[in-house]
């Protein structure tokens, strides 16, 4: 790996984006694989959502933010905070979609909501959920 690549990957925001795009690709692959085995669209998307969510939590925690703490006293509050954030993001996404469709296509509404949630998720992961010093709020 070149020095440029090492320097680029040294930033947590860059790792966050790479992992996010990778999880998106993983979710698409799970949908396609599940449907090739006969799963309905709803079942395939549901399966991809939960697999993507689980893998995302682990990669963001361990790789993006370098939080290697796995003790249950730390991990349980992080999982709860992560879950609350996911529920909030879901509600926000549905709200945006209801407010702008139609005339805006659903794909555009989802993309706008995804852009917003990506920004505040990064901030909350970095400053609250996966913050490794003792002043973190879980």
Whether 3 and 14 map to the same domain: the answer is yes
SS3 sequence, 65-91?
CCCCCCCHHHHHHHHHHHHHHHHHHHH
Predicted local confidence at residue 14, as pLDDT = 93
CA torsion through residues 122, 125, 131, 137, sign: positive
Choose one of 66, 86, 105: the last residue of a domain: 66
Choose one of 22, 48, 66: the last residue of a domain: 66
CA distances from 78 to 10, 31, 102, 113 (A): 23, 27, 37, 23
Q: Residue 133 is part of which domain span?
A: 69-138
Structural domains of the chain, count: 2
Whether 29 and 17 map to the same domain: the answer is yes
Q: What are the 10-residue block averages of pLDDT along the chain, 138 residues in total?
A: 73 92 92 92 86 93 93 95 95 91 86 91 95 62
Predicted local confidence at residue 138, as pLDDT = 45
Both ends of the chain: CA-CA distance in Å? 36
Whether 101 and 45 map to the same domain: the answer is no
Predicted local confidence at residue 134, as pLDDT = 57
**CA–CA separation, 40 vs 110, rounded Å?**
22
At which residue do the structure tokens 């349980």 appear? 76
Going by the DSSP 8-state scheme, the letter that residue 102 receives in this structure is T
**pTM higher than the cut 0.85:** no
């Amino acid at each position: 790996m070149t020095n440029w690549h090492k320097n680029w990957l040294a930033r947590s925001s860059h790792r966050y984006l790479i992992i996010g795009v990778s999880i998106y690709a993983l979710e698409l692959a799970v949908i396609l694989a599940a449907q090739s085995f006969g799963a309905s669209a709803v079942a395939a998307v549901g399966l991809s959502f939960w697999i993507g969510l689980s893998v995302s939590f682990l990669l963001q925690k361990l790789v993006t933010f370098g939080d290697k703490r796995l003790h249950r006293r730390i991990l349980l509050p992080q999982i709860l905070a992560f879950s609350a954030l996911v529920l909030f993001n879901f509600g926000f996404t549905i709200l945006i979609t209801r407010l702008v469709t139609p005339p805006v296509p659903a794909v555009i509404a989802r993309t706008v909501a995804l852009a917003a949630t990506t920004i505040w998720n990064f901030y909350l992961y970095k400053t609250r959920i996966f913050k490794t010093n003792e002043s973190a709020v879980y």
